[in-house]
Structures are given as structure tokens and as C-alpha cells.
Amino acid sequence: MAHLLNTSFIPSSQSLRRNATSSAPPLISGRRSRAQVQAKIREIFMPALSSTMTEGKIVSWVKSEGDKLSKGESVVVVESDKADMDVETFYDGYLASIMVEEGGVAAVGSAIALLAETEDEIAEAKAKAGSSSAAPAAPAAPEPLPEKIPDNVGPAVVPKAAATVAAVASTHPASEGGKRIVASPYAKKLAKDLKVDLGSVVGSGPLGRIVAKDVEAFAAQPTVAAAAETSVGKSATAVAAEAGIQLGSVVPFTTMQGAVSRNMLESLSVPTFRVGYTITTDELDALYKKIKSKGVTMTALLAKATALALVKHPVVNSGCRDGKSFTYNSSINIAVAVAIDGGLITPVLQDADKVDIYTLSRKWKELVDKARAKQLQPHEYNTGTFTVSNLGMFGVDRFDAILPPGTGAIMAVGSSQPTVVATKDGRIGRKNQMQVNVTADHRIIYGADLASFLQTLAKIIEDPKDLTF
């Protein structure tokens, strides 16, 4: 769902002249005078797209300076701490001046553009923007930085002939040959990796925006796919250069990395403890092989099993935010950690205990696609009540996870591996087993709570008939 831009009034010289010649008392300087003026030029503010967002990055301007805008029309794509979102305008008018260019960062509530009510006031708005940006113009100096150290949400890399910073002066940073190219950060990164010219790709996203699947489809063509194979056998320096990495450089955090950093620091203030458990997965593996062809994923099976176990142990699904009380959450929403380009996000499978495994699997695939395109809405990533982090697909046998702020527990899942075990009749046998480790908030969850929860989880996984009802 697109968000609306906040705006405020700025008095134009025309409206000031009308007030000066009227019979009303003289205007009082300061804030009160602003309320008495019928404004014609409005500031467009950086919106708060989530409760944790303190600043936003301009991914792309959907509209150009001078374009006519209608209320509810998308104007700019903003990167919050977790996703990219199309932002709409509250008012009709003209986009008079862009004050924060693509790739620029602005604090929530600060002006990023000016909106003029009529075409006649565009020039005046540009003048106001020029005067207001005269002082803070110095921070614009680091703008060439993405040429040396591109971050994960910066402008798409265009052919080397366009790499000169001076060439950017006459065209918009997200343009190629004067033509605006709007693409998701992941699509830009993917295009760079696959050596795909974004100018040749037709976007299927909102307003023609290029998303990852568009780049993948274009790269699948023989001539493009062949170009992507040239990185094999190259030195580390060459590979890093192709990936847009300059070895030895210092790279500032992206907006998402900054949010992850703040959350991890907040987690340090929570007293946590860890409990591990070994679970036999033979029956779960057999079930997965049986229903995999129907679109079921192992992630969905683990989320479903976890949710059913949490039904019987509500304290493990609880959360504490103020250090003085805790909440027994009314829903069981399983957040699953997903690594994406430039960071980490936790899409949420809501009411996982109530949704059937087939619907849950379809929903999970949808969430992953949206996460990698950075199109998740806030309720799709910030409503988790219990988190699962799975590194088993990488062959990791065990690890510990850091507790997300405000939740009671997170479970780290390792890979299922063949293990020699003693059977009940005293013989030696082989079973597939995985290690799970739960990190919990010790203010509200105790060792016995986790032990009991893990016993329940093990029973569900070792006899998974309830997962498909």
C-alpha cells in the first residue's frame, strides 16, 4: 500500500503581497505568520514508513521537476529500514523542485521537494529551494561515493562510458541517456551481476518499475546469459571489481544495515539464555519428499510445526518491551529470517497455527519474492511473535541466533544430517537428526519453559501427521 507524502505550507511572494495590501493587521513574525497565509508552495517531507524509521533514502523519483501531479499519484520511491515503498502526494500541483536527489538520505520530517500549486510559481519554488539548500550544500560532496563504493540501493551501474561523475550533471542519476529508469535495488544489483542493460528491460512492476524477475527473464536470453559467464576463473580483485566492491574501502551502512545495527544493539540490553535440542527428522524428511511436488516448502513445514508447539506453550510466544510487563500474544505469527541483498529481513507467516500447509507454502513463496524485491509492507515483516532462523540449507549443523527486540524467543535451525545412534534394542543404527537452539528472554521465559516447548516440537516433527491436516 502506497504511503502519502506529508506537506506543509510555505507562503509565496504573491500571497504575501495580497496580505500586505489587505486591511488585516500586520503579520507577526515566526510560526504564527505562517498559519495566517494562504500558501501556494508546499514542502514535501520525508515520510515515516515504519515505527522504527528515523531516516529514508530516495531510491528513485517517479516524477520529474515540472511534472503535473494529482492527489494520490506516486511521486517517489523511498527506501525505509526494511523495504522500498511508493509514496503518493496529498495534493494536486506541480513538482517544482527536487531537494534530495536519488541516492540521497534525509531525516524523517525533513523537506525532500517542493510542490507548487500553479506553473507560475515553479520558478519561485526553485529559488526558495536554492536558498534553503545553500547552507547544507556541502554534504552533497560525497555523492560520487557510489561510483567507488556502491551500496545495495544505489543507482544502477550503466556502461563504463557513463562512469564519469561529470557526465551525471546533465542527467538524473537514475537516468540513462536522459530516459528515466526505475528499478528495485535488488533488480539493479541483479542486472549488474548478470551484465544486463536495464535500458533494454521492460518492467512489470507498478508504473513500469523493473523488478528482479524482469531482469532474470531478460538474462535468460542466450546472448545475455553468455555474458554473465565471464566471471569464472578470475582473480579475487577482478571478481570484487565486477561486483562493485573496492577492496580496502570503507563502506557506509545502508538504511537497512543501520536498522539491523540498532536492533542488535538494543538486543544487548535483554538478558538471554540458550537451550539446545536434538530432533530426529526421518519422518519429516519422508513427508517433505511426499508433498514437495505440491509446492510445499521445508520452511513452511518447520514454521507450521513451531506454531503448533507454541499453541501448547503460550509463554514462549509472549513478548516484553518495557521491562515491567509482558504480553501473551493472541496470534502465533512466525517470522522467518531471510538474507537479501544488503541485509536481513524477517517476513511473517501470520496465524501459522491455523493456516493449512499448502496455503502457508504459497504465502511463504510470495513473501520471499516481495522481500527480495524490497516490496514488503510493514505488517508483513514487523508483526512476528516468534522467529525462526534456518541455516541448514548451507550445511551448518548448529548456531545461536540473536533475539529480536520485543519478542520472547528465536530458534536457530541447523541441517539434518545422518547420525549413528543407539536403537531401543541396543543395536547401532542411523537416523537423520538436526540441532535446534532457542535463544530466549530470561525475564519472561525460563529454562523449564523452553525444555518443555522443545519436547513438544520434537514430538510434532518426529510424528508429523498433524502438519498436513
| Residue finishing a domain among 100, 131, 162 | 131
Query: Which of the two residues, 147 and 460, has the higher pLDDT score?
Result: 460
- Do the domain assignments include residue 33? no
Sorting pLDDT into bands at 50, 70 and 90, what band is 20? very low
- Do the domain assignments include residue 77? yes
Query: What's the predicted TM-score (pTM) here?
Result: 0.59
CATH number of the domain at 61, please: 2.40.50.100
Within this chain, do residues 126 and 275 fall inside the same structural domain, yes or no?
no
- Do the domain assignments include residue 441? yes
* Distance from C-alpha of 57 to C-alpha of 101, rounded to nearest angstrom: 9
Which of 308, 285, 391, 297 minimizes the C-alpha distance to 344? 391
Which listed residue (172, 313, 379, 442) is catalytic? 442
> pLDDT of 22-31, one tens digit each?
444 443 334 4
Q: Is the pLDDT of residue 92 over 80?
A: yes
In the prediction, which pLDDT does 170 show? 34
* Distance from C-alpha of 245 to C-alpha of 157, rounded to nearest angstrom: 12
Q: Mark whether 172 is an active-site residue.
A: no
Q: Is the pLDDT of residue 230 over 80?
A: no
Which of 276, 317, 283 minimizes the C-alpha distance to 414? 276
Query: Which of the two residues, 462 and 1, has the higher pLDDT score?
Result: 462
Which of 152, 137, 141, 44 minimizes the C-alpha distance to 91? 44
> pLDDT of 236-292, one tens digit each?
777 767 767 788 888 888 777 888 888 888 888 899 999 999 999 999 999 999 999
Total domain count for the chain? Answer: 2
> pLDDT of 184-222, one tens digit each?
777 787 888 788 888 788 877 766 778 777 887 787 765
| Residue finishing a domain among 87, 116, 131 | 131
| Residue finishing a domain among 131, 158, 189 | 131
Phi, psi for residue 153 in degrees, rounded to 5: -125, 20
Q: Is the pLDDT of residue 15 over 50?
A: no
- Do the domain assignments include residue 291? yes
The chain-wide mean pLDDT, for the chain, equals 77
The share of the chain scoring above pLDDT 90, in percent, equals 34
In the prediction, which pLDDT does 5 show? 55
Inter-CA distances, 343 with 23, 254, 346, Å: 60, 8, 11
Domain that holds residue 393: 270-462
> pLDDT of 102-113, one tens digit each?
888 888 888 888
Inter-CA distances, 125 with 9, 16, 104, Å: 12, 14, 20
- Do the domain assignments include residue 450? yes
> pLDDT of 366-394, one tens digit each?
999 988 888 888 889 889 999 999 999 89
- Do the domain assignments include residue 274? yes
- Do the domain assignments include residue 148? no
Cβ atoms of 176 and 191 closer than 8 Å: no
Lowest-confidence segment of 3-17, 71-85, 344-358, 436-450 by average pLDDT: 3-17
Within this chain, do residues 126 and 274 fall inside the same structural domain, yes or no?
no
Q: Is the pLDDT of residue 342 over 90?
A: no
Q: Select, from the ranges 2-6, 48-52, 74-78, 392-396, the one with the highest average predicted confidence (pLDDT).
A: 392-396
- Do the domain assignments include residue 400? yes
CATH number of the domain at 329, please: 3.30.559.10
